[in-house]
Chains A and B, each alone.
Chain A
Amino acid sequence: MSGLREWIVNRATDLADGGSVCLNGHEYSDIVGMSPYDVYNLPYDIGVKVWESLGGLIAWLINLFVPNNAVSFALISDTATNAMAIVLMVVVIFAIGFVTNLTMIWQERKFLGRQMDRRGTMIGPLGYLQCLGDGLKTFMKENVAPRAIDKKIYWWGVVLVIGTSVLLACMIPLSPRWFIVDYNTGLLLIFAFFALAPFLIMCAGWAQNNKYSLIGGLRAAELMISYEVPMLILFAGTVYMTGSFNIGDIITWQEEHIWLIVPQIVGFFVCLVCAIAESERVPFDLSEAEAELVEGWQTEYAGMKWGLIMLGDYFRGFVACALVNIMFLGGWSMPIINEFDWYYQYFPELFFVLKTCFVFIFFITARGALPRVRTDQIVNVGWKVLMPLAVINLVITILIKWIWDYGGVF
């Protein structure tokens, strides 16, 4: 009994000494001496603290009945705390991504409602709870799957489409202290996973044994060849300018120099168009064009499968907005207020999400104002407009970078 109490007191002292330090990202604060991270990681810290309360409570309760037992000590050991903290960290990161996602759905419905001269959703405070109601309703639906399908690909296709979308949303770092893994190739990885979906959509469309979904799936592939190339050229511009694939470094560079939207204003607008296409939203939602293809590649996915696909779509929308934010709008950095200590202590995640939602307004406006483009038109636009603009953007970037490095202008 005394050993446990001593341990808890020591832990509290540790936390009071070192746990509260969370500054500009690169100051290492050793929470309990077992963190897998080189820098302070907020979700992990939350995980540790939650497990200290939760695991400590359980251990204390067991200890009440069986004093000094092994299970209690195992529950509060460093190994268990670390393991559970990582699990809880993932939950926290997903939960924040999920809430952001619901907020974006709500934002879209409200904004779109105003654009269309109606109110948008009205359930709950400001209509925020409508998505929960929709989720519940979709969940209650019967889970129907047609008989003549390619079962394996039908199920794996939808699982992987949703899975990659959620994975991508979790891979986006919200601040220097909010990430899962600090990849040196973060942006590259995100792009790679992003480009995976059209292939999965094509397979899923084919597996459904439905002509509409087959056409929808093939359209996804057709769409992909038109926007992916300009997107990657823009990406090259960003990486060339900042000299890193690491998202943290890209944003730190923008914080120290200038947001990339200023030198790459052309690229910003091209990127917006490509990002809308990448997340397959109106006006580029050719693969689920509901006017002619019923529901496109999702036609035979009934009930909650469809609900999750829609949720995954919004996750992709979030990722696309976050990419625009990271590449052009400086991610979590803010112009003046980031000089203050309290900014990086409390707000970087919030401002990242707010800026992402700001980018999403462009998406919503495009959806409200434009009709869906045709397949040949998107390929035309992709190769004849977006591609040259992206190349021009790259050339401008190279020139600016050259002047920057050798001209001594800045």
Chain B
Amino acid sequence: MAQEKMNADKMWLTMGPQHPFSHGLWTLRAQVDGEIVTDAEPEVGYLHRGWEKECEQRDYQKIIPMADRLCYSASMTWSHLFCKVAEEALDIEVPERAQYLRVVADEICRIQSHLMWLAAVGTDAGNLTIFLWALREREFMLDLNVRLCGQRLTTNYPRIGGVRNDMPYYFERDCLRGIERFEKALWDIVNLTDDSSIFVGRVKGIGYISREECANLGITGPAMRGCGVDYDVRRDDPYDAYGDMDFYVPVYKDGDAYARFRVRIEEMFQSCSIIKQAMKKLESIPKTAPYRLKVPKAIPEGTHMARIEDPRGESVMYLISDGTDRPYRLKVRSPVFVNVSASKRMVQGVRLADIPTVMAMIDMCLGETDR
């Protein structure tokens, strides 16, 4: 870059690591020709803290709270994923009650993560009302987290072989009330965004990726479903109790930022429906049923992989165990780390003002990206 001759027509704009649009510490170097972005280059790694290496020094049980810290708004799915890979290594099946509890917890997590994203979209589009309304609704979801696990963000709820605790008293009532309230409240926010021609005009037709590019870049999650790829780990490779759940996977073929926006909004409604179904199922399981298995501390030698539908995409953990109570290697595939590589392609040709809205649809979370 230093050797390149200065181009007077185009200038490089370093957006980040401290910039209002980069939700977290990362840099997007954008080359702009006036207002039009001609090239871009994401730079991540500011938050690297050696997560994978640190895991090699810890017992399997002690990795669960660390997995929470991978992403502040998707902590449940990450600790769930770690428990899942350990269970696969141990070759155990978690009790039915724990499976449904995990589904409920995961979907609450998905809703609050998507609400965090919606709030970020609000500020990126320049409207603080969306931000505050979304965060208000998110508080109710976090309250449900508190009821279930005692924590708002870093929940530390799943355990290898089950979950930490059963539902507290009246959780079922609170959860259903909260979800019903949320379904109404979400329509308010949808009216503020989807019904606003200015908002739709801001996100429609920008940040386009084709289906093929999406596959080549390895994009997963809502960003992929917005490009017309009909794939969801929860449905196509069901884990825990997702196989029993009746839900549809929203898919849009447009491939622009608006499609990704719609996918996430509809996913929230689907999550509500999943929570309701799981709650109904939990009623039929006796309260005395086990919710956790006793598992050995050490995991037998071998390589194991597990994947899960994170709110941001498909997250994968790859575990190499050497028979001790500590992993030999634990590799994390973060969906955002892969998705952000598409930013170069997505922002080419859009205007400078579109960069925040396009990037918001990736839903950056730097904790898991940099690990």
A: residues with CB less than 8 A from B are 112, 115-118, 211-212, 215, 219, 282-283, 285-286, 289-294, 368-377
Contact = CB atoms under 8 A, between A and B. Distances in A.
Interface string B304-324: 000000000000000000000
B130 A294 contact: no
B133 A369 contact: no
Nearest to A377: B201
Contacts of A112: 128
Given A286-B353, A291-B356, 17 more contacts: A112-B128, A115-B129, A116-B133, A117-B133, A211-B11, A283-B127, A291-B126, A291-B353, A292-B352, A292-B355, A293-B352, A369-B127, A369-B192, A370-B127, A371-B126, A371-B196, A373-B201
A213 to B, nearest CB: 12
B129 A282 contact: no
Given A291-B20, A375-B35, A368 B202 contact: no
B132 interface: yes
B20 A290 contact: yes
A372 B352 contact: no
Interface in B203-254: none
B198 interface: yes
Nearest to A113: B132
Contact of B129 (A368, A375, A376): A368
A252 B55 CA distance: 79
Contacts of B127: 282-283, 368-372
Interface string B117-137: 000001111111110110010
B21 interface: yes
A293 B352 CA distance: 9
Given A116-B129, A283-B126, A291-B126, A374 B202 contact: yes
Contacts of A375: 35, 351, 353
12 contacts: A115-B129, A116-B128, A212-B13, A215-B32, A215-B352, A290-B20, A292-B21, A368-B128, A370-B198, A371-B127, A371-B202, A377-B201
B354 interface: yes
B199 interface: yes
Given A115-B129, A375-B351, A292 B15 contact: yes
Contact of A289 (B32, B126, B192, B199): B126
Contacts of B32: 215
9 cross-chain pairs, A with B, having the tightest CB-CB distances, nearest first: A372-B126, A371-B125, A371-B127, A116-B132, A291-B356, A374-B353, A291-B124, A371-B199, A371-B126
A294 B13 contact: no
A280 to B, nearest CB: 13
A373 B21 CA distance: 16
Q: Which one of B133, B198, B356 has the highest number of Cβ atoms from chain A below 10 Å of its Cβ?
A: B198
A374 B351 contact: yes
B133 A373 contact: no
B137 to A, nearest CB: 10
Interface in B30-60: 32, 35
A99 B295 CA distance: 70
A354 B351 CA distance: 40
Nearest to A370: B198
Interface in B118-158: 122-130, 132-133, 136
A376 B123 CA distance: 20
A230 B15 CA distance: 35
Contacts of B201: 373-374, 377
Contact of B126 (A115, A282, A377): A282
Interface of B: 11, 13, 15, 19-21, 32, 35, 122-130, 132-133, 136, 192, 196, 198-199, 201-202, 351-356
Contacts of A372: 125-127, 202, 353
Contacts of B130: 371
Contact of B132 (A117, A212, A282, A369): A117
Contacts of B352: 215, 292-293
Contacts of A115: 129
Contacts of A370: 127, 196, 198-199
A98 B331 CA distance: 61
Given A291-B21, A369-B196, A372-B125, A118 B351 contact: no
Nearest to A214: B11
Nearest to B360: A291
Nearest to B19: A294
Given A215-B35, A291-B21, A369 B129 contact: yes
A371 to B, nearest CB: 4
Contacts of A373: 198, 201-202
A33 B121 CA distance: 64
A377 to B, nearest CB: 6
A376 B124 CA distance: 17
Nearest to B35: A375
A291 B351 contact: no
A9 B13 CA distance: 73
Contacts of B136: 117
Q: Which one of B11, B123, B127 has the highest number of Cβ atoms from chain A below 10 Å of its Cβ?
A: B127
A115 B132 CA distance: 10
A19 to B, nearest CB: 50
Nearest to A212: B13
A372 B356 CA distance: 12
A294 B129 contact: no
A216 to B, nearest CB: 10
B83 to A, nearest CB: 37
A111 to B, nearest CB: 12
Contacts of A211: 11, 13
A236 to B, nearest CB: 28
A285 B192 CA distance: 19
Nearest to A115: B129
A24 B278 CA distance: 75
Contacts of A117: 132-133, 136
Contacts of B21: 291-292
Q: Which one of A294, A368, A371, A374 has the highest number of Cβ atoms from chain B below 10 Å of its Cβ?
A: A371
A292 B129 contact: no
A292 B356 contact: yes
Contacts of B356: 291-292
Nearest to A282: B126
Nearest to B355: A292
A283 B128 CA distance: 11
Contacts of A291: 20-21, 123-126, 353, 356
